[in-house]
Amino acid sequence: MSFAVVCFDCDSTLSKIEGIDELAKRKGLGAAMAELTEAAMNGVLPLEAVYEQRLARIRPQQADMHWLAELYIAELVDGAVDVISALQQAGKLVHIISGGLRPALLPLAKVLGIDAAQVHAVDIYFNDDGSYHDFDRQSPLAKSGGKALLVEQLTQYGKLVMVGDGKTDVEAKQAGAFFHRLWWRG
């Protein structure tokens, strides 16, 4: 099957980590946040029910975004750079569609050779001193069904495949995408 657009989730797909869980561990909230993340990924709770709660408790600072970006890169899945490069050389449009935090994903995208305009994630806002202010509450990626909305927009460029590991990635099928689930996640 030939696809014009190849979309990847980030957490536990392009990188081996779950970014929000790593931020939670950094703040001493690891176990509680991991349970919420797992519940959202498996469809036990709707994403919007946990998104605000996680960020309100973690309150990531701008420095945390830099730290997380470095961790995403350090934990890059083996072969990801080569796969992205091969897809792009074959003329495929490659996008990242993630419920992760955009400032932490952009450096990873740069390493992968993916343009910032092709990174769809949740923006986060900081106060002048770098402390947490809020997140983009209007982002479709902070809500259940959000990936399906973005996939629907991207299908204008042709047949699309979504590669990921969770329920939010499966939602892309609602918009007509082919879905490939990664099973390596332990």
Give the catalytic positions in this structure. 9, 11
Beta-carbon contacts of residue 83 (< 8 Å; ≥ 6 apart): none
Q: Helix (H, G, I), strand (E, B), or coil: what is residue 121? A: strand
Name the nearest CA neighbour of 12 among 60, 88, 76. 76
Question: Measured between alpha carbons, how far is 95 from 122 in angstroms, rounded to an integer?
Answer: 14
Give residue 93's identity as a one-letter amino acid code. Answer: L
